[in-house]
Amino acid sequence: MRTDNLITVSDFCVFHNVEYTFVDYLADAGLVKVTAVNQINCIPIDEIQKLERLVRLHNELDINEPGVATINNLLQKLEDMEHEMSYLRSKLSLYEG
The CATH number for 6-96, chosen from 3.50.50.60, 1.10.10.10, 1.10.1660.10, 3.40.190.80, is: 1.10.1660.10
Run means of pLDDT, 10 residues per run, the chain, 97 residues: 81 94 94 93 94 94 94 96 97 86
* CB < 8 Å & 24+ apart, contacts of 5-10: 5/44, 5/45, 5/46, 6/35, 6/37, 6/42, 6/43, 6/44, 6/45, 7/42, 7/43, 7/45, 7/48, 8/40, 8/41, 8/42, 8/43, 9/34, 9/40, 9/41, 9/42, 9/43, 10/40, 10/41
pTM: predicted TM-score of the whole model, two decimal places: 0.80
> Mean pLDDT across the chain, nearest whole number?
92
pLDDT in tens, 56-79: 999 999 999 999 999 999 999 999
Residue 16 has a pLDDT of 94
